[in-house]
Amino acid sequence: MSLELTYLLWSAVLAIVYVMAQAGAYRLQNGIIEADTNRDVTSEPNVFTGRATRALRNFHETYPVFIALAVVIELSGRSDALTQWGAMLWFWARVVYLPIYIGGLGLIRSAVWTVSAAGLVLMLAGSLA
């Protein structure tokens, strides 16, 4: 299995972590009983629930691109140092992005997002080479 496919597998675990962070923040704010309703009427999210929700939304914006690139690289046999570095950058930046976002470290969050985006660009460049 290529390094990109290995990171794709671990990214599924990471996606679950993002979902559980958002769900956990929601449950801490509203309680388990409220979380188990249809949520026809919801309260405004507190700061942590809002951040966890936005972090999850942001993850969902780049995750399909990572999946597509990892699959294309695997199927085309174009795995090389460029694509591997790209996959590692994207993955590890996304790992640190969640706690940084929830912690409210805005400038650092933007820098980490940029690193993850650079990882996707490296993967794309390597797959087109």
Domain ranges of the chain: 3-128
CA distance 22 to 1: 31
Return the CATH class of domain 3-128.
mainly alpha
Q: What is the dihedral of CA 21, 24, 29, 30, to 10 degrees?
A: 140
**Is the model's pLDDT at 37 over the cut of 80?**
no
| DSSP letter (8 states) at residue 45 | P
Q: What percentage of the chain exceeds 90 in pLDDT?
A: 80
User: Residues 29-50: what's their mean pLDDT?
Assistant: 74
Higher per-residue confidence, 122 vs 33: 122
Mean pLDDT of the chain: 92
User: pLDDT of 58-70, one tens digit each?
Assistant: 999 999 999 999 9
Rounded to 10 deg, the angle between the 3-30 and 47-76 helix axes is: 160
- Residue 112's closest CA among 85, 81, 91, 126? 91
Q: Look up the pTM and report it.
A: 0.90
Give residue 95's Cα distance to chain centre: 7
Cite the DSSP H helix spans in 77-105.
81-102
